[in-house]
Structure 1
Amino acid sequence: MKRNLLIILIITSGLFAAGQIAPSKDQDTDIVIQEGEPVTLNCSYDVSSEEVMLFWYRQSPNRALQFILRKGARQLTSNYIPDDRFLCTTSRYSTELTVRELTLADTALYFCAFDQQPQPPRPCSERCTVFLHCKSPV
C-alpha cells in the first residue's frame, strides 16, 4: 500500500557578513509524494570563498538535530554521505538534497547550511529549513 508524503517548505533565509543561504526560488512550498518515491530539496547560497562546505541536517518531531551529509563545493572536493538513500549535488550557487525511497521516518524539518572553511559546521546559525511531513492515508 502506497502512502502519500506531504512536503512543506518553510522559507527562512539568512543574510550574514560571510554570505547567505536560502531555499531556492523555484522550490515548491507544498509537495505531495507517495512513500517509496524520491524527493529533491534545493537551497541557493551566495558566498565569496572558493572553499565552501555544504551540510544537510534534519530534525524529526521531538528529536535532536541529525546530521545527514556534507559535501564540498567549488574548490573543495571532499564529502561524507553515510546513508546511500541520500544524494547531494552542488553547483557554484546551489545545493540539492535528494532523498530516495521516502519513508514515514523521513518526516522532519530539513536544514541546509554552509561553511567557508573546512571546519566543524554551525548548523543553527546559517541555514534554511524545509519541513517534510509524511502522513498515511485514512
Structure 2
Amino acid sequence: MYFVSYSEIESEERLFGDNDMLSAVVAVLCQASKLIILSDIDGLYNKDPRLFPDAKLISTIDCIDEKLYESAGGSGSSHGRGGMITKLQATTLAVNQGIDTIITNGKHPEKIYDILEGKKVGTKFIGNKNNF
C-alpha cells in the first residue's frame, strides 16, 4: 500500500498541522510500506538549491538527526507552509514506524512509477525496521 501527499489539508482545528504529517499518520495507521511526499523541489539537498547552484541532491538517508534538521533550513516556497522541516517531521514519524519515505518533486508525478519500480528518485529515507 502506498500513499502520496499532494495538497494542503485545511481545517479549523489543524489537528495534523499540514498535509505532510497527515500523510505520515495515515501511512502509519494503514501499515504502508512506503510513503511518497511530493514537494516543489527534487528532494533533500546538502544545502538550499535556490540559494546555492552547487547544491547536491542526497539520494539516500538512513538516519534523521538534529544535524539533518539544521541543514534543512526554514520555509520553502510561498505555496507551502513549512518547507523541508515539516517534510522531515512527517518523514521521521513514518521512518520510526519502519516505513520507507521518499521526498520528490510533484511537478513530475510520472516519477511515482519509477519509485514503485525501485528506481532512485528524489531522496529516500530508509524505514527503521529494527523497531519491530
Query: TM above 0.5, one fold?
Result: no
Q: Greater Rg, structure 1 or structure 2?
A: 1
Provide TM-score, normalisation by structure 1. 0.29
